[in-house]
Structure 1
């Protein structure tokens, strides 16, 4: 009797501690679930990678914007090229003007310079550098568009049947969509297919050009067993995270999408890991859950499907979808960037362009998809201020705009007047990318105004010290078929 009592006396503190921990975890999970239900962008998924069992799933097949989770696929194709001997860690990747013009976050490498494959991978994992992602895409695919087709084709090979890529970095594009389930597949695939290269994803910091760059993934070192993968954020997606955890023989890949802040996303991921990792099996898999498929090259026209070896039915690729994914796009010609001339607009409905801008100028490739297809449209607001606030509250997140507040004094170049803040912001990003070095020392900003009772938003680039500087930049833009005019601030 004494022995039994002594046993319970020793065990009681441990049991109480375990019970308290469990209660706290459950309360946090329920709280987050309640918050998530009010957040239409939320999705989450936890996969036992030893067995293929789904441990948790919320909106796992609802289409979402991947944001910088896109770069996991960019890195996957880099790893594939390294493993097949096409490139090595020391291979130089050239930085084109197109790549160098990508908005932050970026390394800021000058056009004509190069970056090694080794440094490129580290820059993608840590800083989530958009300029490096585009350079990698152009290098491996021959062009951004072709690399995006390669990415989508590889997604089909891996069984990511709900994912389409349009770029290598994840900046806004309403046709670049994925799901939480597909991101789990990708996270597992890059980990299992490249075990010797995967440790790149656990890089805590990266030294480049005299600066030390920290990893955006705050769970590294915070949660036991976390060994990567990647964060992502754009305003339309919310805060995304794919996480790999391996400890005590258990192994999971978890995804959280649509977090309302970096901190809440990380806390929710930590709660999911704490709750579901103990339920994962310690039995090692006898075969891979995600088959590899044929390595892709920039000259591949049709992608063959790998042998059927997948243990999880929903991961199986479809051959027709693979072939279609790599077929040339049959899209309409890209519209010419329209002018925004300083003329007075007559009274008109709000959707009509102002100040001489054509209808084409009010269309943007970065609009959020309609609510009935993918996700709710982006709310009206000031993306620059909102993202600045988000970055301040969540240091190290993947911001995406280059726009600043209105300069005080000097001259500006106006490139458009649009119907909303979102359209103006997206238009500035598009022009900044197309302008190359013309606007390298300028900063974009927006300026609302009202004409005849209708609200508009000017899209401008400031930072010019004189009329001559502004008009020289404007004339150079006109050489790229971007209409504009200079205005004193």
Structure 2
């Protein structure tokens, strides 16, 4: 089993460039200092927040709720959703041993530090993610369920879309930095409700204050547990690009809300903002019988039965996926060693003419107390200035349906001879050639012109007596062009990777 992981880099003694805020480098000690001492130094991650009344479905507070953000370790809520599903269906139990691979063991902190070849029970894994936010354990969960972390990330994305999280895409099980790991505050409120509706028995693990593991006692990173009345979970997160994130559920006197804060300048300021949001909005929530149905999954879109020969991604960590073990190193690389774009994006025009809009996410003010809502003042207007963050999806009407687009019924065209270029894009490998061709047709229709000059083709391969049909696009002479097209496909809900032909 293999997992796609980041590789640790060496600390750099100085900032690369003053203008490149998102690639600023610090030592682990300085990162920890920021996480506990209030940020500073001009660090302004893009901010978003949302509060939803669970019983009525009413939005009580929203700032940049549909702008794309990086989830960081809040990713692990979806990882646990899929683990809970395996247990519920009887495919695993709380006592099932999960094997730790060499690659899982090498994941950057935060981690348990498990050795390759060792095992951890599913219940221990749950507690490790809830408290320590262990990246090695998150990777191991993905490997043990899907065979590889890459395949597991595809499962996570499909599940997100089935729940209605239409702007979410996962690239790994932990939340470690990846430019393709994106979500929104609105999508995360859906996940926060769904995991409670679907798994009330297992949701209680998010209330775990500490975890005794092999002679160690590990405390929960969520410092609002036991400190803010009504809070019963659920997950923190941090990377340099995301800022300090927090997903929260709170119940009091028959009222129930879920709240998301993304882009805090520090752990302390994020917690202060969330505390104010809870205190301001929980009393406003509906106390009667629940009028909204549980969050349930729609039928998942058909996806490849097998994804074959996915290349291992290499990337240098920009930061850890949790604030208590924050680390920063040099730069990030994508598949094929190409640099990942982690700088703020500007509005551009794709070959198909589609406009990509710049997001409206402003910085979290340095004074969280002044910014956060209070019972007396209600809640604040969105920030009017600060660092911009690009939403890398086409602009949409807020009223537009967020459910995944229906699968196209257009029949796949007959395949013509294709000249295979040095680089191709592979969407997946299907057990039926007709399915592979239909996938290619749909991808072209929904690509917004990105694949206008690309040539679809299928490639028959046999593995262990099983015949598969790769769904691929030719037409790329350079790695960068293929990777750009693949990123565009991912933004439209497809999984893919660029590879040499």
- The question of a shared fold, defined as TM-score above 0.5 by the shorter chain, is answered with yes
Alignment correspondent of 2:172: 167
Give the match's secondary structure for 1:288: coil
Task: Give the superposition deviation at 1:370.
Answer: 3.0
Give the match's secondary structure for 1:69: helix
What does 1:12-91 align with in structure 2 at a 5 Å threshold? 39=44, 41-91=46-96
Query: Is the contact made by 1:49 and 1:289 (CA closer than 8 Å) also made in structure 2?
Result: no
Q: 1:201 to 1:368 in 2, by over 3 A?
A: farther
Q: 1:210 pairs with 215, 229, 232, which one? A: 215
CA–CA distance in structure 2, aligned partners of residues 92 and 359 of structure 1: 32
Q: 1:130 pairs with 135, 142, 167, which one? A: 135
Alignment correspondent of 1:364: 339
CA–CA distance in structure 2, aligned partners of residues 119 and 50 of structure 1: 32
Query: Is the contact made by 2:55 and 2:292 (CA closer than 8 Å) also made in structure 1?
Result: no
Task: Give the superposition deviation at 1:289.
Answer: 3.8
TM-score of the pair, normalised by structure 2: 0.55
Task: Give the superposition deviation at 1:367.
Answer: 3.7
CA–CA distance in structure 1, aligned partners of residues 80 and 263 of structure 2: 22
Give the match's secondary structure for 1:186: helix
Q: 1:39 to 1:283 in 2, by over 3 A?
A: farther
Give the match's secondary structure for 1:197: helix
Query: Is the contact made by 2:150 and 2:171 (CA closer than 8 Å) also made in structure 1?
Result: yes
What does 1:49-448 align with in structure 2 at a 5 Å threshold? 49-293=54-298, 304-305=299-300, 322-323=301-302, 363-365=338-340, 367=342, 370-372=345-347
Q: 1:330 to 1:137 in 2, by over 3 A?
A: closer
TM-score of the pair, normalised by structure 1: 0.56
Q: 1:364 to 1:255 in 2, by over 3 A?
A: same
CA–CA distance in structure 2, aligned partners of residues 285 and 55 of structure 1: 16
CA–CA distance in structure 2, aligned partners of residues 359 and 103 of structure 1: 17
**Greater relative contact order: 1 or 2 (C-alpha under 8 angstroms, separation 6 or more)?**
2
Task: Give the superposition deviation at 1:364.
Answer: 3.3
CA–CA distance in structure 2, aligned partners of residues 334 and 369 of structure 1: 26
Between 276-285 and 102-111, report the one with greater CA deviation: 276-285
Task: Give the superposition deviation at 1:328.
Answer: 6.8
Query: Is the contact made by 1:100 and 1:108 (CA closer than 8 Å) also made in structure 2?
Result: yes
CA–CA distance in structure 2, aligned partners of residues 102 and 363 of structure 1: 21
CA radius of gyration, larger in: 1
Query: Is the contact made by 1:101 and 1:131 (CA closer than 8 Å) also made in structure 2?
Result: yes
CA–CA distance in structure 1, aligned partners of residues 360 and 339 of structure 2: 17
Q: 1:55 to 1:369 in 2, by over 3 A?
A: same
Give the match's secondary structure for 1:196: helix
- Counting matched residue pairs gives 296
Q: What is the root-mean-square deviation of aligned Cα atoms in Å?
A: 3.1
Q: 1:245 to 1:335 in 2, by over 3 A?
A: closer
Q: 1:211 to 1:226 in 2, by over 3 A?
A: same
Q: Deviations over 1:125-165 (max 9, x none)?
A: 00000000000000011111110000000001110000000
